[in-house]
Amino acid sequence: MELRNEHQWPVEKFEAIELQKEFAQHVQILPNFDDVTLIAAVDTAYGRNADIIYASAVIYTFPEIDEVEKRFHYAEVKFPYTPGLLYFREGPAILAALEKLETTPDLIIVNGHGIADYNRCGLASMVGIAFDIPTIGCARKLIAGNHREITPQKGSSQPLFLKDREVGLAYRTKDNVKPLFISPGHRCDIKFAKEMVVQNLRGYRMPEPLRFAHQAANKYKRHIEKKYQNKTIYIKE
DNA sequence: GCGACAG
DNA sequence: ATCTTGTCGC
């Protein structure tokens, strides 16, 4: 895949916020009627000291969810974990893994929030803008917004509001299991995001592509750590 | 001002 | 996110 919006990686928080607000201007929330055949999912894993980040980018067919292509990338972590600025910590590795994909998916599911973010531009939105491709944010915890209580039954959901705006939803993917927070990232809307996530559930809390991408990132991490045990990992630019 | 705070 | 085994519950 090819980046559509290149930029420097900020070192200071205020610079990151400036870039995030600029990207937020480009976020498109609109109905998506495209036929979805290929779905990509990205996720990351960290080394023990949280100094190295490992990212996976995997493409699956939909609705079969058969693996089509799988790429990875690891890098030194250079930005501190800061709620609201996750993109600046994980973005370098995630974008690099996605750039290695030879196939272009119809949409990308990201482990993190889309517009359910204080600046309406979470990790999923930032990734979507970077490649100008439809993205969906899927998070296990809420960072911004509120919603009414949802029942314990699978399928129960409530809209997620942030400053009077509906930005996504809380969705129960399994009975008696904590809900998932879904929000559009870029070039799609809440309805599309919800439908896609629901149609990709296969009995677990997380949609299958993301669940697999998560496992893939961890396997990749173990592989690299084993390969370089006792040695100093050399990371090229 | 205080609390909350994706991975 | 990561450090970690068993264990309670559907």
Q: Can you tell me which residue has its alpha carbon closest to the C1' of nucleotide C9? A: A176
CB atoms within 10 A of CB A122: 32
Which nucleotides in chain C lie less than 7 Å from some protein C-beta?
1-3, 10
Measured distance CA(A92)–CA(A15) in Å, rounded: 16
Which pLDDT belongs to residue A230? 67
- Give the nucleotide at minimum CA-to-C1' distance from A138: B6
What's the Å distance between residue A45 CA and nucleotide C2 C1'?
9
β-pair type (A38-46, A107-111): parallel
Domain extent listing, chain A: 13-138+186-191+201-228
Please give chain A's pLDDT, 237 residues, in tens: 999 999 999 999 999 999 999 999 999 999 999 999 999 999 999 999 999 999 999 999 999 999 999 999 999 999 999 999 999 999 999 999 999 999 999 999 999 999 999 999 999 999 999 999 999 999 999 999 999 999 999 999 999 999 999 999 999 999 999 999 999 999 999 999 999 999 999 999 999 999 999 999 999 999 999 888 766 655 554
Q: Token pair of A171, please? A: 């969705």
**Confidence (pTM):** 0.96
Measured distance CA(A47)–CA(A222) in Å, rounded: 9
Strand C closer than 7 A to residue A202 Cβ: no
Q: Which amino acid is at A36?
A: V
Q: Token pair of A71, please? A: 């790429």
Which pLDDT belongs to residue A237? 47
Which pLDDT belongs to residue A227? 87
Which CATH number is A13-138+186-191+201-228's, of 3.30.365.10, 1.10.3210.50, 3.40.50.300, 3.30.2170.10? Answer: 3.30.2170.10
Strand C closer than 7 A to residue A140 Cβ: yes
Q: Token pair of A110, please? A: 């990201």
Strand C closer than 7 A to residue A222 Cβ: no
**Per-residue CB contacts under 7 A with strand C, chain A residues 99-118:** none
